[in-house]
């Protein structure tokens, strides 16, 4: 099913929602509750929902008594191992109210490049959805090395959208939409819609996200949106606080038309 406008989101068969580290860790950990409520509402109307969630390293940092994101790979892996466990617990604890069970899916870039691994991931995801389980996908930071990383979870979310042939990909961050320049700068204008193939020439992207715990920015969201749109998936970029309205098909954020 091709969704050509925001109002069609409630009728989508399959939706991928991606949330960044800064939106669901640290002082914003409480946003998990509202995010889960929005996902549960979509799930209740029969939509198949996949959540791509960053935040393992950021969630693990306080347990390792770290004040800032670690720069060395071994400590990142340790923080991810602890944080992924806590993160999934928080999601499941919130999902319990709606009688929804989460399924954890951890991937590396190598998994989606290797045909047999890719086919295994696709089969597992299809089965989880068929069983009405809500897959929660993250990069497998405990084993991923610098050479085989996705780079950011916006790209991972786009690749997952392609893998499962999602109708819509919703990329969430701290900012309500994409702007023609960083939104705090004078003259920044919200980009309503991006026709398929539009190069967005003349647009200057700063970083999206706060707190120094995430890796993505507005530029990575545009790259991910293009990747998904090329495969026929519509993309909406908006803020985590807007997720419920976004999944109800309200007119907000930046909409990327699919091929």
Q: How, if at all, do strands 254-256 and 14-19 pair?
A: unpaired
Identify which of 21, 17, 60 has the alpha carbon closest to the alpha carbon of residue 36: 17
Q: Is 18 annotated as a binding residue?
A: yes
Q: Is 54 annotated as a binding residue?
A: yes
Q: Is 11 annotated as a binding residue?
A: no
CB proximity list for 135: less than 8 A, separation 6 or greater: 50, 51, 102, 103, 104, 105, 125, 128, 129
- Both tokens assigned to 135: 């897959």
Global pTM value: 0.93
To 5 degrees, how large is the angle CA 83–CA 207–CA 66? 30
Q: Is 141 annotated as a binding residue?
A: yes
Q: pLDDT by residue (tens digit) across 54-74?
A: 999 999 999 999 999 998 889
Cα 206 → chain centroid: 19
Q: How far is CA 59 from CA 20, 25, 78, 155, in A?
A: 12, 6, 11, 21
How much is the average pLDDT of 86-105?
98
For residue 37, pLDDT over 90 is answered with yes
Q: Is 174 annotated as a binding residue?
A: yes
The answer as to CATH 3.20.20.140 being correct for domain 6-256 is no
Sketch the domain layout of the chain as residue ranges.
Answer: 6-256
Q: Is 202 exposed, middle or buried (0-12, 13-18, 19+ CB in 10 A)?
A: exposed
Q: pLDDT by residue (tens digit) across 198-233?
A: 888 778 776 544 444 444 578 889 999 999 999 999
């Amino acid at each position: 099913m091709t969704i050509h406008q925001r109002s069609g989101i409630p009728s989508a068969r399959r939706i991928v929602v991606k949330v960044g580290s800064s939106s669901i860790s640290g002082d914003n950990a409480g946003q998990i509750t509202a995010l889960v409520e929005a996902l549960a509402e979509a799930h209740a109307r029969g939509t198949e929902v996949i959540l791509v969630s960053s935040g393992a390293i950021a969630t693990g940092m306080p347990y390792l008594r770290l004040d800032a994101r670690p720069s060395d790979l071994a400590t990142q892996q340790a923080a991810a191992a602890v944080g992924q466990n806590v993160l999934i617990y928080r999601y499941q604890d919130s999902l319990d109210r709606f009688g929804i069970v989460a399924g954890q899916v951890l991937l590396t870039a190598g998994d989606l490049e290797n045909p047999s691994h890719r086919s295994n991931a696709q089969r597992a995801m299809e089965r989880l959805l068929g069983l009405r389980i809500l897959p929660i996908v993250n990069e497998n930071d405990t084993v991923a090395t610098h050479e085989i990383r996705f780079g950011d979870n916006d790209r991972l979310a786009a690749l997952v959208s392609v893998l499962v042939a999602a109708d819509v990909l919703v990329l969430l961050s701290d900012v309500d939409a994409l702007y023609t320049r960083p939104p705090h700068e004078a003259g920044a204008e919200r980009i309503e819609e991006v026709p398929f193939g539009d190069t967005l020439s003349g647009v200057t992207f700063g970083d999206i996200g706060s707190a120094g715990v995430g890796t993505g920015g507005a530029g990575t969201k545009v790259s991910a949106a293009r990747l998904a749109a090329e495969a026929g998936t519509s993309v909406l970029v908006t803020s985590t606080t807007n997720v419920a309205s976004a999944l109800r098909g309200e007119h907000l954020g930046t909409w990327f038309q699919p091929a």
